[in-house]
Structure 1
Amino acid sequence: MHNPRVTKPDNLSTTLEDFVTEYVLPELSYDYAALEPHISARIMELHHSKHHAAYVTGANNALAQLAEAREKGDFANINRLSKDLAFHTGGHVNHSVFWNNLSPDGGDKPEGELAAAIDDAFGSFDAFRAQFTAAALGLQGSGWGFLAYEPIGGNLVIEQLYDQQGNVALGTTPLLMLDMWEHAFYLDYVNVKADYVKAFWNIVNWADVAKRFDGARKNATGLITL
């Protein structure tokens, strides 16, 4: 698939190549139609090639504009640019995790150490799924429901992420993410978000979640200390 690269605004003299590696849209490991009937090919194509691509472009443009501000010594727009960078980079990261969290061969339940950790943290898989579902459906406005690893206590936690970057504890590592922005489900499920969340459980890639859990335990602990 095509990976769109940033188009430098006409008034910028600095390009991303001058100071940083630019973000690119990741390719998917499955076809747009592979997740049907749970998520349609139409939504997948729009979601990946349009919405996610826009976050990539937005993040790259924010980086370029911040570099331009440093070059000119003019930080009059620092609040807007900082927010733009957080929002668009958050959107890029969140979607990149989300695509890998999904698989046409997904569903069922986790196994091994991840399953044991979920049981320890939430009491059972069913209790975990009920809390995750409630968190996703309870979001006010746009955002994400997600399972994360919290490195200070070594705990699994379920969080509500507002927009693309707000309301989450610093340092938590996302393991399983569910996009609750309307563009993720509206063409298939209209306003019946509960049916979308129910369908999501049929395509969860637990192998990917387990890999992220293992990596978080090995690499995140110690990065943030009290």
Structure 2
Amino acid sequence: MKSLENGLSRREFLSNTSKASLAVGLVGTGILSACSGEVKGDEKAILATSFTQTPLAFDFAALEPHIDAQTMEIHYTKHAAGYAKNLGDAISEETVDTNKPLEDVLAEVSKYSTKMRNNGGGHYNHELFWKVMGPNAGGKPTGELAAAIDSSFGSFEEFVSKFDEAAKTRFGSGWAWLVVGADKKLAVGSTPNQDNPLMDISEFKGTPLLGLDVWEHAYYLHYQNRRPEYVTAFWNVVNWNTVSERYAAALV
């Protein structure tokens, strides 16, 4: 799979890969949900999530040296693919209407089984993870997102420090997040295992803009037990264009 070139916009890519399976509608939190049918409104489709695994937008080796090819291949084809498959099984077992968006299922995940919680969360988290990274990325955000980060955290550097702390100090396995809260302000936090801020059982809530997987399978082949090095390296592959698009959509 080839990397996305600058000439191919995220909007075009999402439209091309999603038309057959997604329809977009707003849910109560401002999240744009994925259902069956046509995508409506490319500007907001950035927040849509399918129940099935979407193609990776770059080669497995595209994020080296920060994330190695072997880790990417195993992570995407084994771990993430497993969550997608098991989510499909849980949906069938619990007779979930797949016209109902994944975000809605997560918002009331306490009504479902542990299998649905773990695999629905794992699938959503990884689908987001692949989208907020890319080759020739990194640096700093610009525009409205940059201004919001400065307003919420004081500076980009202070935001990075808080995010790093959330990622490095998450005990065991889990995720670190940048979210937009119900008050439309930015916040940083973490969740255990494959939980995420969309879930009604989560103590940390919001619309995810950026997520970092800190399970050992995400970094151990290259970084071994040096999670802080992996967290620091992550900033070299963050696709701020995607994060900014998610921020704009979350404010609607």
TM-score in same-fold range (> 0.5): yes
Out of 132, 142, 156, the residue aligned to residue 111 of structure 1 is 142
Query: In structure 2, how many angstroms separate the alpha carbons of the residues matched to 1:81 and 1:173?
Result: 21
Whether the 8 Å CA contact 2:167–2:176 is kept in 1: the answer is yes
Partner of 2:195: 165
Q: Distance in 1 between matches of 2:81 and 2:209?
A: 22
What TM-score do you get using the length of structure 2 for normalisation?
0.71
Cα RMSD after superposing both structures: 1.9
1:67 aligns with one of 62, 71, 95: 95
Partners of 1:155 and 1:82 lie apart in 2 by: 32
The one of 70, 76, 86 equivalent to 1:42 is: 70
- Give the distance between the partners of 2:194 and 2:148, measured in 1 at CA: 27
Equivalent-residue separation in structure 2 for 1:129 and 1:83 (angstroms) = 33
For residues 236 and 149 of structure 2, the distance between their equivalents in structure 1, rounded to whole angstroms, comes to 18
Contact 1:159 1:168 in 2 (8 A): no
**Counterpart position of 2:172:** 141
Per the TM alignment, residue 165 of structure 1 is displaced from its structure 2 partner at its CA by 1.3
Shift of 1:25: 1.4
* Paired position in structure 2 for 1:156: 186
Residue of structure 2 in register with 1:206 after alignment = 240
Q: Deviations over 1:104-147 (max 9, x none)?
A: 11111000000000000000000000000000000011000010
Cα distance change of structure 1 residues 168 and 96 upon mapping to structure 2, 3 Å threshold:
farther
Q: How far off its partner does 1:169 sit? A: 3.4
**1: CA distance, partners of 2:121 / 2:216:** 17
Q: Does 1:52 align with 2:86?
A: no
Q: Is the 8 A contact 1:146 1:159 kept in 2?
A: yes
Whole-angstrom CA distance in 1 between matches of 2:145 and 2:231? 21
Q: Cα 1:58–1:80, aligned 2, differ >3 Å: closer, same or farther?
A: farther
Query: Shift of the alpha carbon at 1:82?
Result: 1.4
1:98 offset after TM fit, Å? 0.6
Distance 1:32 1:168 in 2: 34
SS at match of 1:119: helix
Which residue type is aligned with residue 146 of structure 1?
A: W
Q: Which amino acid counterpart does residue 206 of structure 1 have in structure 2?
A: W
Query: Normalising to structure 1: TM-score of the pair?
Result: 0.79
| Aligned-pair CA distance for 1:81 | 5.7
Residues matched between the structures, number: 188
After superposing on structure 2, the runs of 4+ consecutive aligned residues of structure 1 that deviate more than 6 Å are: none
Q: 2:222 aligns with which of 171, 177, 188?
A: 188
Counterpart of 1:174 in 2: which secondary structure? Answer: strand
SS class of match (2:94): helix
> Structure 1 residue 215 and structure 2 residue 249: aligned?
yes
- Percent identical pairs in the alignment equals 43
Q: Does 1:96 align with 2:127?
A: yes
Tell me the SS of whatever aligns to 2:95. Answer: helix
Choose 160-169 or 180-189, whichever is displaced more. Answer: 160-169
Instruction: Please report how far the alpha carbon of residue 23 of structure 1 lies from its aligned counterpart in structure 2 after TM superposition.
Output: 2.7
Matched-pair contact (CA < 8 Å) for 2:137–2:240: yes
In the alignment, is the contact (CA less than 8 A) between 1:160 and 1:168 conserved in 2? Answer: no
Counterparts of 1:164 and 1:143 in 2: how far apart (Å)?
6
Matched residues in 1 for 2:203 and 2:82: separation?
23
Give the Cα separation in 1 of the matches to 2:111 and 2:207.
26
The residue aligned with 1:29 is 57
